[in-house]
């Protein structure tokens, strides 16, 4: 990859939006780029590599705070990766909790759809379950949070 990329070129190569790169800069995830005499941002291969790291981490579900912490650790490569492992384990735990919640939601939705008798809306099981804010018609209250 060539050095001295414009923000538009970097965005295109990374398949992201210019606004996203600016957001990452504002959040401190991307270092400030060099600027031309006219004030135009110029990005290096190091910027492109860091952006690729951030994008891949986002694709894997890492929240911005976790990415920020990982980048702080990446910037000090001689230290133990124990903290990196801990961050990844925390993200994994969040993903597993979301999967459990989604499985509960899927079961609830399947049950609601199965119980539908295709009668009138006034007698519709789906509507009755959704209207019951006490969750007494639900299989579990896991989806309430």
Q: How far is CA 52 from the centre of its chain?
A: 15
Question: What residues does each domain of the chain span?
Answer: 1-79, 82-145
Span 75-98, pLDDT tens digits: 999 999 999 999 999 999 999 999
pLDDT tens-digit series, residues 5-64:
999 999 999 999 999 999 999 999 999 999 999 989 999 999 999 999 999 999 999 999
**In the CATH scheme, what is the code of domain 1-79?**
1.10.1660.10
Q: Is the full-model pTM beyond 0.85?
A: no
Q: Of 63, 91, 6, 26, which is closest to residue 14 (Cα–Cα)?
A: 6
């Amino acid at each position: 990859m060539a050095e001295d990329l414009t923000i538009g070129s970097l965005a295109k190569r990374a398949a992201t939006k210019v606004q996203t790169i600016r957001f990452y800069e504002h959040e401190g995830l991307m270092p400030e780029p060099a600027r031309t005499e006219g004030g135009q941002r110029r990005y290096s291969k190091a910027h492109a590599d860091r952006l690729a790291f951030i994008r891949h981490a986002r694709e894997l579900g890492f929240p911005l705070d976790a990415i920020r912490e990982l980048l702080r650790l990446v910037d000090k490569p001689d230290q133990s990766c124990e903290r990196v492992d801990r961050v990844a384990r925390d993200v994994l735990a969040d993903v597993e909790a979301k999967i459990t919640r989604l499985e509960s939601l899927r079961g609830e939705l399947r049950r609601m759809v199965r119980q539908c008798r295709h009668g009138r809306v006034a007698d519709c099981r789906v509507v009755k379950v959704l209207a019951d804010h006490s969750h007494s018609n639900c299989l579990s209250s896991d989806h309430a949070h």
